Amino acid sequence: MIFDTHAHYDDEAFEGDREELLSGLQENGIEAAVNVSASMEGVERTLELIRKWPCLYGAVGVHPNETGELNEEKISRLKEASREPKVVAVGEIGLDYYWDQPEREVQKRWFIRQLELAREVKLPVIIHSRDAAKDTLDIMKEQKAGEIGGVIHCFSYGTEMAREYLNMGFFIGIGGVLTFRNGKKLKEVAAFVPMDRIVLETDCPYLSPVPNRGKRNSSLNLPYVVAELARIREISEEEVIQITSQNARRLYRLREQ
């Protein structure tokens, strides 16, 4: 079954039908999903969800655009939350110069601090990097993030940047953008990255694949990404599902069930 490595089921977009959707994931071919925090409030909602739903794991961290709220007391809360049995990563963390807030030095400071946290609690990281390729890579090299491990979520750069992260041992997260007509760069990356380093993700409720582009996304849309990746790699959809699910378990250090 398909493993969704990055979802936001705590988002208000799911307020109307969250229970129905999550209760039906496995019967619709979705083995599991990782609910990824974006804020301190999101951390608490994520913990509530993973305690309730067997098919959900969690990641705790603060998105770069929300790092203005961070202080050492909140880092301590993240550390405490990371000890929950079903928390499998620190994330999503990183840099976002598209929205460019808070100021870049604040984003960098708390990116580094959360990388340090991940190293301390021995969890992989989920990296968000948007319009910040050089600074993200520079920080990750300086902090020896390859020793921590993790995934570059919603990968949006080219093959040369992918090579840098592969050399550091990171996985590459691929989602709905792969199906977009203007997703040429990601298609090239999907053809370039070894299959054993690709994981599937939705980033739901965002980035629905074609034919549902523009609508609310969910893990149920991942078969469209599977089909496109199978086409690009010239392998069967079953192989894509099997390999990427195994990759997800390696990424998040989960035993085969």
What digits encode the pLDDT tens for the residues 183-217? Answer: 999 999 999 999 999 999 999 999 999 999 999 99
Contact 140, 161 (CB under 8 A): no
DSSP-derived letter for residue 201 is -
Q: What share of the chain is helix, strand, coil (3-state, %, to 5)?
A: 50, 20, 35
pTM, whole model, 2 decimals?
Answer: 0.97
Element (H, E) at 171: strand 171-174
* pLDDT score of 226: 98
Does 234 score more than 80 pLDDT? yes
Q: What rounded mean pLDDT belongs to the chain? A: 97
Distance, CA of 164 to chain centre: 18
* pLDDT score of 3: 98
DSSP-derived letter for residue 204 is B
Hey, where are the domains in the chain? 2-251
Per-residue pLDDT, averaged over 167-189, amounts to 98
What digits encode the pLDDT tens for the residues 89-140? Answer: 999 999 999 998 999 999 999 999 999 999 999 999 999 999 999 999 999 9
* pLDDT score of 255: 80
Radius of gyration of the chain (CA): 17
Does 2 score more than 80 pLDDT? yes
Per-residue pLDDT, averaged over 45-67, amounts to 98
Q: What are the DSSP calls for 17-49, one per residue?
A: THHHHHHTTGGGTEEEEEEE--SHHHHHHHHHH
* pLDDT score of 256: 57
Look at the alpha carbons of 124, 128, 134, 138 in this order and tell me if their dihedral is positive or negative. Answer: negative
The CATH H-level (homologous superfamily) assignment of domain 2-251 is Metal-dependent hydrolases (3.20.20.140)
